[in-house]
Amino acid sequence: MFDTQKNAPFIALLAAAAFGLSTPLAKFLLVAMRPWALVSLLYLGSVLGLGLITLFCS
C-alpha cells in the first residue's frame, strides 16, 4: 500500500516545507485572531493530519 521506507525522503521534505511555512502563516494569522484560537487551529490540523496518516497507512 504505502511504503514508508521508499517515501521517507518525500515525507521528510514535505514535513520541512510545512514547518517552514508555519511561521510566516502564523504571523499573518495572529493579526486576525487571538493566540489561543491560532494554537487551537494548529493543534486541530496536527490531529487531523496524524489521523489521516494513521487511517491510510494502517
Residue type, 23: T
DSSP state of 36: H
Q: What is the pLDDT of residues 46-57, one digit of tens each?
A: 899 888 888 887
How many angstroms separate the CA atoms of 6 and 11, rounded? 10
- pTM more than 0.95: no
How many angstroms separate the CA atoms of 7 and 14, rounded? 11
DSSP state of 10: H
Q: What percentage of the chain reaches a pLDDT higher than 90?
A: 10
Domain boundaries, the chain: 4-57
